[in-house]
Chain A
């Protein structure tokens, strides 16, 4: 009976979520201690308790505001994937396209998105459109870079094998090239989705009257630091949940990849 209990607690200790959760609690404790020991005034860093109270009082409002931010993030992310993957395919498939498009793409990435975001408000007005575009612009590049890497990393012998079977371009693509590129593409998608959250918030900073970004700006303007910290926590949660969903999809799509094999290769 006791050994059963011991094993249950052992399992609990070994489960994947307990370690980051423990670290999180430790961080909150350290935060609280720092504020107390150094007597930091609440208008600079609010103590955790105040943030918890802000959650309690304004949780409903924060969750409501999280919806447009999440929508904009997802919109931008889906556009990143829809455009990024085919463009990566073209760049990897053709030297000509690569020589024309790739340098321009890299060049465009060096333009600070935060600086051009107000332009989108001028062009597309207040509301969803500038947020989605801003999220798309931030999320797009990692998908392309990872996709190009994935499509190019095909073993030359594998390429010869496919050619020796006289596979059509479509066959080669669906049977070999695309599955080979998927692990790299997923790596890019994971970076992209977290950047898309940043993009959506930047969009909300410059031209929106809803969303977490808007709440952040308003609360810092009113010196409501606990609300602002609560909004930051919500933002982090959006990122983590979206990342986790992509991770789950990856696990289901490419269970064969070396990075996923631990729970799959029981017979190896």
Chain B
């Protein structure tokens, strides 16, 4: 099976107009120090993500996927190696990043619009221009009639869409998503996948998506990174060559099926089905 894998140490394809690297992950490792001793969570990994690229990371539970995302987001310090965003090493949460978590984490006492405006308030950005932007994002997410409602008056899918709007409101170049649709039902999830693809297409953001769902990863990503069990390391990286824009029918495409089966094989081989 080895010939099917693209080993990360391979040189990235150097084309004439090679897109520049947005995120560079160099020998990044994380060991959590706990009372019970050191718990290695991430073995040294290397990964480059280019500007505007959509990368999905799949792996068994507890393989360090979320640790990887937190390291890129500057929320925890690495034990070894470093993450560079736009050529600058990440030491604290960078400004050019928006994050979407598994739960929407909206503030229940703020209206949807004021939740979306929260990063603007915290960062003390210009209110007027961002208010227009927030309204535009909300109507793009189909929430224009709900901007003055409270989060708990919205369905789970709508709340998560509002959370995505909040991650985009300060116009970051990079969006990090930690299993954003994990708590949604299957049908809402498919709709959200279509919406996320459209957002990626319309805004050209660099997106790093952590997910449990192999079909979701293949459907959305330009590249799928497969991680091995704890301590996490990159087992393989697959290019998804399916043409964009993709609709749900693409899930019946032979390439799609072959790719999902091959990725699933990584987990079966280790006796894990995630």
Give the interface of A toward B (CB within 8 A): 155, 157-158, 160-167, 171, 175-176, 179, 254, 256-258, 261, 265, 267-268
Give the total of B residues in contact with A, Cβ under 8 Å. Answer: 25
4 new A-B contacts, CB < 8 A, other than A163-B93, A171-B122, A268-B153, are A157-B101, A164-B97, A256-B152, A267-B149
Tell me which of A160, A166, A265 contacts B101 (CB under 8 A). A160
Q: Is the beta-carbon distance between A166 and B122 smaller than 8 angstroms?
A: yes
- Given known pairs A157-B103, A166-B122, the reply for A265 and B108 (CB within 8 Å) is no
29 pairs from A and B in contact (CB 8 Å cutoff): A155-B103, A157-B101, A157-B102, A157-B103, A157-B105, A160-B70, A160-B73, A161-B105, A164-B73, A164-B74, A164-B93, A164-B99, A165-B93, A165-B118, A165-B119, A165-B122, A166-B95, A166-B123, A167-B122, A171-B122, A176-B107, A179-B109, A254-B109, A256-B108, A256-B109, A257-B108, A261-B152, A265-B153, A268-B152
In chain A, what residue has the closest Cβ to B100?
Answer: A161
Complex Cα spacing A175 to B106, Å: 12
Q: Which residues of B contact A268 (CB under 8 A)?
A: 152-153
Complex Cα spacing A155 to B151, Å: 16
Complex Cα spacing A166 to B118, Å: 12
Complex Cα spacing A59 to B134, Å: 62
Complex Cα spacing A112 to B102, Å: 48
Q: Chain A's nearest CB lies how many Å from the CB of B111? A: 10
Q: Which residues of B contact A175 (CB under 8 A)?
A: 107, 118, 121-122
B interface secondary structure, majority: loop
Q: Which residues of B contact A167 (CB under 8 A)?
A: 122
Tell me which of B73, B95, B105 contacts A155 (CB under 8 A). B105
B256 in the interface (beta carbon within 8 A): no
Complex Cα spacing A161 to B163, Å: 11
Complex Cα spacing A171 to B118, Å: 11
Complex Cα spacing A165 to B167, Å: 10
In chain A, what residue has the closest Cβ to B170?
Answer: A165
Q: Is the beta-carbon distance between A166 and B93 smaller than 8 angstroms?
A: yes
Q: Which residues of B contact A162 (CB under 8 A)?
A: 122
Tell me which of A155, A160, A257, A267 contacts B99 (CB under 8 A). A160
Complex Cα spacing A256 to B106, Å: 12
B267 in the interface (beta carbon within 8 A): no
Q: Chain A's nearest CB lies how many Å from the CB of B34? A: 15
In chain B, what residue has the closest Cβ to A160?
Answer: B75
Complex Cα spacing A265 to B101, Å: 26
Cβ-Cβ contact count across A and B, 8 Å cutoff: 58
Q: Chain B's nearest CB lies how many Å from the CB of A37? A: 53
Within 8 A of A (CB), among B50-97: 70, 73-75, 92-93, 95, 97
Q: Which residues of B contact A254 (CB under 8 A)?
A: 109
* 3 closest cross-chain pairs (CB), A and B: A256-B109, A165-B122, A157-B101
Complex Cα spacing A166 to B172, Å: 14
Q: Which residues of A contact B73 (CB under 8 A)?
A: 160, 164
Q: Chain B's nearest CB lies how many Å from the CB of A158? A: 5
Q: Which residues of A contact B122 (CB under 8 A)?
A: 162, 165-167, 171, 175
Q: Chain B's nearest CB lies how many Å from the CB of A262? A: 12
Q: Which residues of A contact B103 (CB under 8 A)?
A: 155, 157
Q: Which residues of A contact B109 (CB under 8 A)?
A: 179, 254, 256
Complex Cα spacing A104 to B66, Å: 39
- Given known pairs A167-B122, A261-B152, the reply for A179 and B107 (CB within 8 Å) is yes
Complex Cα spacing A167 to B153, Å: 27
Complex Cα spacing A243 to B149, Å: 31
Complex Cα spacing A265 to B92, Å: 39
In chain B, what residue has the closest Cβ to A162?
Answer: B122
Within 8 A of A (CB), among B237-272: none
Q: Which residues of A contact B93 (CB under 8 A)?
A: 163-166
Q: Which residues of A contact B108 (CB under 8 A)?
A: 256-257
Which of A158, A161, A179 has the largest number of chain B CB atoms within 10 A? A161
Complex Cα spacing A167 to B70, Å: 17
Q: Chain A's nearest CB lies how many Å from the CB of B33? A: 15
Which of A160, A171, A179, A268 has the largest number of chain B CB atoms within 10 A? A160
Q: Mark B136-148, 1 if CB is under 8 A from A, else 0.
A: 0000000000000
Q: Chain B's nearest CB lies how many Å from the CB of A161? A: 5
In chain B, what residue has the closest Cβ to A172?
Answer: B122
Q: Which residues of A contact B75 (CB under 8 A)?
A: 160, 163-164
Within 8 A of A (CB), among B177-203: none
Q: Which residues of B contact A165 (CB under 8 A)?
A: 93, 118-119, 122-123
Complex Cα spacing A162 to B119, Å: 9
Complex Cα spacing A187 to B121, Å: 30
Q: Chain A's nearest CB lies how many Å from the CB of B201? A: 25
Q: Mark B210-253, 1 if CB is under 8 A from A, else 0.
A: 00000000000000000000000000000000000000000000
In chain B, what residue has the closest Cβ to A182?
Answer: B109
Complex Cα spacing A268 to B149, Å: 9
Q: Is the beta-carbon distance between A166 and B149 smaller than 8 angstroms?
A: no
